[in-house]
Amino acid sequence: MTVLTAVIRLYPRAWRQRYGAEMQELIAAQGLSMRTLADLVAGAVDAHLSPQLEPASRAGHAEGADTMVRRFHCAAGGVSVHDQWRSAAWMIGGSLLLTVVSVGLHLQLGRNALSESLLYSAFPASLMLSSECTYLRRYSPRARAVMASGGAALVVLFVWAAVAIGDRI
């Protein structure tokens, strides 16, 4: 099974039946990049949280590959200046908050993996949170919240694991 096939299987069955072949043709023509892969995973989360398929009688396969391009926008658009300021606030505020929490834990508990992981992941986790205002903007609010907070939590978890493993070596 190819990576593309595995990612397309993340989508709901109705979506795969309607768009699966089109998606494979589109990706075959464009090539599969890391950004496209991330976009496909984000789209799968959104498709599960906010299904918006039209009935098959109205959606008709005869519309061709252009249908997929219209429904699955591969380029982030519609980001306003206000969204950019919100994104910056998430990055700065999140970084400061995680740094303050990390320093507080370090002062209270001494050197530990959790306080170090919060410090090291402060900016990357905040960057993930800020993506809900920019890169993930085209998805539903629920999907954005799940992807941004889940991504931030994964960043903190991976950094915590790396620090914990590093402490044992």
Quote the pLDDT of residue 74.
Answer: 41
Domain coordinates of the chain in residue numbers?
3-71, 81-168
Q: Are 71 and 54 in contact (CB under 8 A)?
A: no
| 3-class secondary structure, 115 | helix
User: Secondary structure of 19-60 in the HEC alphabet?
Assistant: HHHHHHHHHHHHCCCHHHHHHHHHHHHHHHHCCCCCCHHHHC
The mean pLDDT of 119-148, rounded to a whole number, is: 90
Is the pLDDT score of 62 beyond 90?
no
Is the pLDDT score of 115 beyond 70?
yes
Question: Rounded to whole angstroms, how far apart are CA atoms 13 and 107?
Answer: 51
The mean pLDDT of 15-37, rounded to a whole number, is: 86
Is the pLDDT score of 89 beyond 90?
yes
> Which among 96, 95, 90 has a CA at the least distance from the CA of 136?
90
| 3-class secondary structure, 80 | coil
Q: Are 19 and 57 in contact (CB under 8 A)?
A: no
Q: What is the DSSP letter of 136?
A: T
